[in-house]
Amino acid sequence: MLKTRALGFMFLAFAASVIPASAQTLKPGFDPSKRTESPCGVKESFDEVMENIKIEWRQVSEARGHKYYYNTRKMRCSEDGVLAFWVKNIEAKHSPKDPAFTLLREEAKCKADKWRITSGTSYNEDGGVIDSSSPQERAWEDVTPDSVEQRIFDAVCKRGQ
């Protein structure tokens, strides 16, 4: 066992000595703190992305007994500039027949200040589906100022950061 560990450490030391330093980084000249813009208009750095995904559901707002979260790991940016993401709405006080939480699939056009909900499913406390809907073609809407949706939009589009 001791010989195996010693050989392992020797291999690591050897590999580190023969692999050039430039090959040990992601890309020569790569700056993880430099912000870049996605086709969706989201500006963030590699460091910010890595920090964001540490918490899968990040709370973005709380209003009238509801807590709103967005999923940092399931955000997708299409080439045509549409950002798709999940929002979870947890209701603090509810009866057994009412939804405990709702998952919404939303889309945003960050550059145009537009958003829409593409699907939604309500769940009871046990995770059972109460209701689900997926509108055929939902129209794009303006983001309402000073609303919960504005706070969610600002968070996913990285506004004010």
Cα separation, 118 vs 105, in Å, equals 6
pLDDT digit string, tens, across residues 68-103: 999 999 999 998 999 999 999 998 877 777 889 999
pLDDT for the residue numbered 8: 42
CA angle 128, 132, 138 (to 5 degrees): 155
Tokens found for residue 108:
């945003």
Q: Decide if pLDDT at 134 tops 70.
A: yes
Would you call 138 helix, strand, or coil by DSSP? coil
Per residue in 9-52, pLDDT (tens digit) is: 443 443 343 344 444 446 778 888 888 888 888 888 888 888 88
**Whole-number percent of the chain with pLDDT over 90:** 45
Neighbours of 68 (CB within 10 A): 22
β-bridge pairing 141-142 and 43-45: unpaired
pTM score over 0.85: no
> Could you tell me the CATH superfamily of domain 35-156?
Surface-adhesin protein E (2.40.128.710)
Band of pLDDT at residue 4, cut at 50, 70 and 90:
very low
CA pair distance 133, 121, nearest whole angstrom: 6
